[in-house]
Chain A
Amino acid sequence: MNERRSRNLDAVLAAAAAPAYADERNEQAFAAVLTAFREAGTELGTAERRAEALIPAPRTSAEEPARRARQRALQRGGSHSLRLAAQYAAVLGIFVGAGTAAASAGILPSPMQSFAHQILGGLGVPGPSPESSPSGGSTASASPDPSATAGGPQAGSTSGTEPGEQTAGTPAPSGPATQTALQSLCGQVVSSEGNWRKVLSGQDKAQLIAAAGSEKKVYQYCTDLLNLSGGAGATPATTPAEKTGGPSPSTGPNQENVPTPQPSSTSTHGKGKGGGGNGDTTSGAMPTAGV
């Protein structure tokens, strides 16, 4: 940029920024600005005085009832909402309580009972039983359930109710075979001298535990069972069928001699403690006790 160009630019900028001229201070425009300034001050001062005096806006006598009505409506609206929420909470609580009670009693349909068992199993809610459904119950009591005598956990549960009951009460064709199998297993338990857990397979252990009610009672159960076989020291059986006193076909002459491996087995049915084995025990007892 040459010097002349620079000077020209500076001259233009200096002229643009020159001191104010008289016509740039128009008195009429200034008067209008001052008027607006005064008016704004007056309005602001009035508002400030009202605010400082804390004088509420005067209400006429006609406005007062309407204001109170609005306040009452607001209060009603709030209390109504609270009341509605309380009602919803009460209904919800009833449903939850009833559902829990039903789940604990094991009278829910299988899917719901299974769901409740998953969630509330720690509170003693048993799992679903095959007989919980209408068709399942009748089928279990009237017709033989092949799975009840199978080698799986359900087989163990069936045999775990009462040996004698399995033999005579349940019309399972494999009842005597199960009794024999239990006796055989118990023989291994007694002969193993405390190492039966290592001797028996997992399936056999499950079957025995289910029959005895718990793992700790297996040895006692086997002792009793073998003593029964030998005809000495038998304890009168307390099967559910006997408790109810119904004309169960299981109450034969042998039934009275059926040992009671676990007097608590009946109570176990109700509580359903101990996971699947006991839950299955419940299912095994249901046809006899519930019918």
Chain B
Amino acid sequence: MSGRDLDESLNAARAGDESGMAELWHLLNPPVLRYLRVVVGQAAEDVASETWLQAARDIRCFRGDAAGFRVWLFRVARNRALEELRRSGRRREDPAGLYAAPERPSRDDPEREAVERLATRSALRLIAELPANQAEAVMLRVVVGLDVTQTAEVLGKRPGAIRIAAMRGLRRLATVIDDGGVLEAGHSNATATMEEVAE
């Protein structure tokens, strides 16, 4: 997702163009959904729908750039998720919902996509097992791609707290993976990732 595409889509949607709104949804719904799967698990799709309904109603009144829109959208998603957690009485770190997510057949390469989806779901499950603040920080920083300031705005915390939470989350995640021997694939440098998160 490029910032320019997101800006153009945002401007079109604000002007009332349905295609702009569709582009926004296609660009941002997957990360929103994954973030919500970590936070609320099984109810992620319902909460994502509520989030987008509110975004569709209020986007014409939104003032800001694409980065600001992403922050606003994830704040809406988080608020809806917290409401859902209060409603259901579940703890945030309960990852039960991740296992119950329905699987849909892929159109292009069903076998390959099924494997990748399984890997993604496993990864989200591991992240969801982290403490809530660490899981959210890791998701927003590493998976969604927000910077420290934006993540702090979404979570309502100071940037320093976000840095610490993300770093601890990654260390803990590495320990969990190491202990469980999960996923042998991957060639990039995790140390560099952690340093990047800490910046």
Interface presence of A9 (CB below 8 A):
yes
Chain A residue, CB-CB nearest to B126: A12
Distance (Å) between the CB of A42 and the closest chain B CB? 10
- Given A29-B49, A33-B56, A9 and B113 contact (CB-CB distance below 8 Å): no
Quick check: A16 and B177 within 8 Å, CB to CB? no
Quick check: A8 and B184 within 8 Å, CB to CB? yes
Quick check: A23 and B183 within 8 Å, CB to CB? no
Distance (Å) between the CB of A150 and the closest chain B CB? 81
Q: Map CB proximity to B onto A240-262 as digits: 1 under 8 Å, 0 otherwise.
A: 00000000000000000000000
Interface presence of B87 (CB below 8 A):
no
Quick check: B22 and A11 within 8 Å, CB to CB? no
Distance A37 CA – B186 CA, assembled complex (angstroms): 41
Q: Map CB proximity to B onto A3-28 as digits: 1 under 8 Å, 0 otherwise.
A: 01111111111111111111111100
Quick check: B53 and A6 within 8 Å, CB to CB? no
Quick check: A25 and B26 within 8 Å, CB to CB? yes
Question: Which of A8, A17, A44 counts the most chain B CB atoms within 10 A?
Answer: A8
Distance A23 CA – B126 CA, assembled complex (angstroms): 20
Interface presence of B157 (CB below 8 A):
no
Distance (Å) between the CB of A179 and the closest chain B CB? 94
Quick check: A32 and B178 within 8 Å, CB to CB? no
Please indicate the chain B residues that have their CB under 8 angstroms from the CB of A22 in the complex. 104, 106-107, 113
Interface presence of A177 (CB below 8 A):
no
Quick check: A29 and B52 within 8 Å, CB to CB? yes
Please indicate the chain B residues that have their CB under 8 angstroms from the CB of A45 in the complex. 16
Please indicate the chain B residues that have their CB under 8 angstroms from the CB of A17 in the complex. 142-143, 145
Quick check: A16 and B127 within 8 Å, CB to CB? yes
Q: Map CB proximity to A onto B91-112 as digits: 1 under 8 Å, 0 otherwise.
A: 0000000000011101100000
Distance (Å) between the CB of A161 and the closest chain B CB? 86
Distance (Å) between the CB of A251 and the closest chain B CB? 98
Quick check: B26 and A16 within 8 Å, CB to CB? no
Quick check: A33 and B178 within 8 Å, CB to CB? no
- Given A12-B123, A12-B173, A15-B183, A24 and B188 contact (CB-CB distance below 8 Å): no
Chain B residue, CB-CB nearest to A39: B57
Please indicate the chain B residues that have their CB under 8 angstroms from the CB of A86 in the complex. none
Interface presence of A36 (CB below 8 A):
yes
Distance (Å) between the CB of B50 and the closest chain A CB? 10
Interface presence of B189 (CB below 8 A):
yes
- Given A21-B116, A34-B22, A37-B59, A9 and B193 contact (CB-CB distance below 8 Å): yes
Quick check: A33 and B52 within 8 Å, CB to CB? yes
Please indicate the chain A residues that have their CB under 8 angstroms from the CB of B53 in the complex. 32-33, 36
Distance A25 CA – B29 CA, assembled complex (angstroms): 7
Quick check: B190 and A16 within 8 Å, CB to CB? no
Interface presence of A41 (CB below 8 A):
yes
Which of A15, A33, A40 is the one whose CB lies under 8 Å from B119?
A15
Quick check: B193 and A10 within 8 Å, CB to CB? yes
28 A-B interface contacts by CB (under 8 A): A1-B191, A5-B177, A6-B189, A7-B184, A7-B187, A7-B188, A8-B174, A8-B182, A8-B190, A9-B174, A10-B189, A12-B186, A15-B119, A15-B183, A16-B34, A17-B142, A18-B116, A18-B119, A20-B30, A21-B113, A24-B34, A25-B26, A25-B29, A29-B49, A30-B26, A32-B53, A34-B18, A36-B56
Q: Which residue numbers of A lie inside 8 Å of B, CB to CB?
A: 1, 4-26, 29-30, 32-34, 36-41, 44-45
